[in-house]
Amino acid sequence: MGLDWCEPFPVGEEWFRFGEAGFFKVILDGEVTHISQRRYLSGTLVPCTPDGYGEGAMISVALRDPKMPAYQAEEMLSDLMGGYYAEKRSVPETQFRTMSYQKIRQQTFAEEYVCQG
């Protein structure tokens, strides 16, 4: 797609302060394990920890025009995912992991609340 990806850097690096819109991919052991896009990258990846993507995970970023309409950015993300799927015949390993973590956190909170209540 002609995106200009930066050199990968460790997940959780505090110096990650990109403020522009863009795409990012998480790489673990040479394999892309997650692909996403954000309107504002600044601060969105800093809270990511190796626990979420695996020890030694790296992030690479490709900036995009912040004025690009949201639907067009989502279409580009869809194309990136489609290209990945066409090559690997699966989705990236941790693509939906954050959704699972959110569900687990909600269940744990609910269980703690019921047990204490």
User: Is position 34 within any domain?
Assistant: yes
In contact, 42 and 28? CB cutoff 8 Å = no
Q: Considering the chain, what is the average pLDDT of its residues?
A: 76
The total number of structural domains that make up the chain: 1
User: Is position 82 within any domain?
Assistant: yes
pLDDT at 93: 81
For the CA atoms of 13, 15, 17, 22, the dihedral, rounded to the nearest 10 degrees, stands at -50
pLDDT in tens, 27-42: 999 999 989 888 888 7
pLDDT at 99: 52
19 Cβ contact list (under 8 Å, min separation 6)? 40, 41, 42
User: Is position 67 within any domain?
Assistant: yes
Nearest-angstrom CA–CA distance, 67 and 99: 28
User: Is position 73 within any domain?
Assistant: yes
pLDDT in tens, 50-87: 566 778 888 888 999 989 999 999 999 999 998 888 98
By residue range, what is the domain housing residue 90? 9-116
User: Is position 3 within any domain?
Assistant: no
User: Is position 1 within any domain?
Assistant: no
Distance of CA 88 to the CA centre of its chain: 18
Nearest-angstrom CA–CA distance, 11 and 21: 18
